Structure 1
Amino acid sequence: MADQKPFAVPQFTSKDYSSFFLAGAICCTATHGAMTPIDVVKTRIQIDPAYKGFSLLSGARYVVKNEGPSGLLTGFGPTAVGYLAQGGAKFAGYEFWKKQFVEIAGDQETAIEYRTAIYLGASSVAEFHRGQPCQHRFFADILLTPLEATRIRLVSQRDYAPGLVTGFTRLAREEGFSGLYSGFLPILCKQIPYAIGQFTVNEFCHELAFRNMSEEARQSLSPSSKFGIDLGSGIIAGFAAAILSQPADTLLSQINKGHGPSGSMVYRLKVLAQQAGVKGLFAGLGPRMIMTAGLVSGQFLLYDVVKHALNAPPALEIHKE
């Protein structure tokens, strides 16, 4: 171990992290907003008995038949606003914590050996940690929770309110703080596995693609080849993120719809999980996998485009060659 040299890592500046934050905010808001129609159908399948057994296509047709095309855009407002801060803090936080854990490893060989732990740790901590520079991530979850609660009410109760402001106001007026934040624990249980699948699987897909490729070949990749690798990695990472976070996503929809017994949140989640069973917890997984594959792949592609436009540095890589 004595002959190992320290691993030279980039020294990101505050401007770099601001660029990471802005790029993450733009990519998450754009992709989540674009996926609103699929999210509407997915949520209905999870909580509305009338949609039991529906596929994504049949569910969308049923929404349009009963509510018109505008029904597929229900909840667009809270979705776009909620994921603006959440996405920025998640991407900037991942860049920050991956660098921190690599520096803790001390050298390149150790970082590569424990890269799985680094990916898992960075994605998990970025999703929850309060401290600098991703303290905004914790407050983003605080912002996201009532907006997600509002979105689910708008989607599940068609006559609840005409939009974001009126829906949020009604929820706050009728149910107060407990109604706005009833989904805070489920959101954390959903977002952490989601981030793990999104970032960790994406890293390994890129590693697999580049493993038998020389540095010269990597640098000379055509734009279409690089796009194909990025798109494929993002789609696979999206599938993983959807599967890992699906049970908590189902429970979040149930909690925000007011289902379950009274009592502590842990008790309510336990009872709802037992009532749903494995099949019920994974209801709507098909539409959500399609949605999440589009979300994650789109986010990574757009994130790189915005970073490039902002002249932000590339991400730190610790792939095994």
Structure 2
Amino acid sequence: MIFAEKRTPTVPAFLYSIEARRTGISALPSLFQTLTTEASSNVAPAYTSSSLFKQVASAAKTSTGVASSVMVPSPSEPGKIVMFSGEYYRACAVGGMMCCGLTHMGVTPIDVVKCNMQIAPEKYKSISSGFSLLVKEQGAVGLVRGWVPTLMGYSVQGACKYGFYEYFKKTYSDMAGAEDAKRFKTLIYLGASASAEVIADVGLCPFEAVKVRVQTNPGFAKGIMDGMPKLIASDGVGGLFKGLVPLWCRQIPYTMMKFATFESTVEAIYKYAVPVPKSEVSSGTQLGISFTAGYIAGVACAVISHPADNLVSFLNKSKEATVSGAVKQMGVKALFTRGLPLRIIMIGTLTGAQWGIYDSFKVFVGLPTTGGVVEEPRKLA
């Protein structure tokens, strides 16, 4: 395999170093307190990307006051990140955390409108009227309700999804052997992504329940800090996981389609559209291919997972909601089509951006981009 050119990026040490976690991670609660306090207030978040990163950097400082960082070597250097090692999977998890958490938070306004269109179609009849009605009734803050549970929930989910996908893909390839891993590579993509998503959704579910309740019931709570205790008080701890099975029904097919379609699309692009081997393609072009393949995968994901998405929104609306009640009230046709155009736009853009961010992070730490080359499965020494 040909790896990316030599690079020595710096990332926060608390992501990798045990010692740094003991010293620097202690400052993180203050950051989360600031975020959750912001979410609990009746104002839109005032963070810019630069100010947020400054606070993250500040939280990563050691007891000596010097920002903790570790040089993450590229695979071509001594002390490199060994492919399929624990450090490799941690790097993939960090990339997944970034790409899912930030992108889902970024499309919160679209998500708010989508959820309300699914729950109250008689009131929110179209995309444009949905936006204007929300702003009229709740102000601009109405469009960003639930952004903190969204950020936190999908960061947890993304770390598990991408980290475990890479792990299961390697594990299943080793189990199949070199020849069958090539022959049945699509089945391996499907199995690895499904296995990863089962784990990822357990982490996402409580945050998703609070997010939907906050977004669709404006008087229920202002954010994660008051929303989760209220939900537990009204529905019990089990209420946080009430939507887990529908969430699995939505996310597992979505993720299977997302990863398998992405991998197959990237491979097809390099095979039929790029005249040179992947190793000779620039990093910028590779990242463009990642985004393109991700967008294509996102459209397919939106269509296959949309009925379950409608169910998740309906079930998290109230304590009394049931699956049979949702199907009866919405109807089968609406279950498959209500809010679908908006979700295609949202998920297509979201998925393309996720793969772009994820592979950008991999390149940043000296790892190759995802897909395009079928590797010989090998076990670690």
TM-score (structure 2 length as normaliser): 0.71
1:273 aligns with 2:345: no
The separation in 1 between residues aligned to 2:329 and 2:186, in whole angstroms, is: 35
Larger mean CA deviation between 310-319 and 83-92 belongs to 310-319
Counterparts of 1:236-255 in structure 2 under 5 Å? Answer: 236-255=296-315
The separation in 2 between residues aligned to 1:229 and 1:212, in whole angstroms, is: 13
Structure 1 residue 111 displacement after superposition: 2.1
Size of the alignment, in residue pairs? 293
Counterparts of 1:286-297 in structure 2 under 5 Å? Answer: 286-297=341-352
Residue aligned with 1:160, SS: coil
Query: Considering only aligned residues, what root-mean-square deviation do their CA atoms show, in Å?
Result: 2.3
The separation in 1 between residues aligned to 2:325 and 2:201, in whole angstroms, is: 24
CA distances 1:69-91 after superposition (whole Å, capped 9, x unpaired): 21110110110011111101100
Match of 2:358 among 292, 298, 303: 303
Aligned match of 2:267:
207
| 2:221 alignment partner AA | A
Match of 1:80 among 151, 174, 188: 151
Consecutive aligned runs of 4 or more in structure 1 exceeding 6 Å deviation: none
When you count helix as a share of all residues, which structure comes out higher? 1
Unaligned runs of 5+ in 2: 1-81, 376-381
Structure 1 residue 107 displacement after superposition: 2.0
Counterparts of 1:94-243 in structure 2 under 5 Å? Answer: 94-108=165-179, 110-128=180-198, 138=199, 140-212=200-272, 216-222=276-282, 225-243=285-303
| 2:163 alignment partner AA | A
Q: Is the 8 A contact 2:206 2:241 kept in 1?
A: yes
The separation in 1 between residues aligned to 2:221 and 2:309, in whole angstroms, is: 23
1:34 aligns with 2:106: yes
Structure 1 residue 148 displacement after superposition: 0.8
Counterparts of 1:14-29 in structure 2 under 5 Å? Answer: 14-29=86-101
Unaligned runs of 5+ in 1: 1-9, 129-137, 262-267
| 1:119 alignment partner AA | Y
| 2:350 alignment partner AA | L
Inter-CA distance 308–50: structure 2 relative to 1 (3 Å threshold):
same
The separation in 1 between residues aligned to 2:154 and 2:140, in whole angstroms, is: 23
Structure 1 residue 272 displacement after superposition: 2.4
| 1:288 alignment partner AA | R
Residue aligned with 2:221, SS: coil
CA distances 1:227-282 after superposition (whole Å, capped 9, x unpaired): 43222211111111111111111101111112766xxxxxx324422442232213
Residue aligned with 2:84, SS: coil
Residue aligned with 2:242, SS: coil
Structure 1 residue 291 displacement after superposition: 1.1
**Structure label with greater radius of gyration:** 2
Larger mean CA deviation between 44-53 and 284-293 belongs to 44-53
- Percent identity over the alignment is 36
Inter-CA distance 69–52: structure 2 relative to 1 (3 Å threshold):
closer
Structure 1 residue 170 displacement after superposition: 1.0
Structure 1 residue 19 displacement after superposition: 0.5
The separation in 1 between residues aligned to 2:130 and 2:374, in whole angstroms, is: 41
Structure 1 residue 50 displacement after superposition: 4.0
CA distances 1:174-228 after superposition (whole Å, capped 9, x unpaired): 2212322211111111110110111011111112211236784433334554343
Inter-CA distance 102–173: structure 2 relative to 1 (3 Å threshold):
same
The separation in 2 between residues aligned to 1:161 and 1:260, in whole angstroms, is: 19
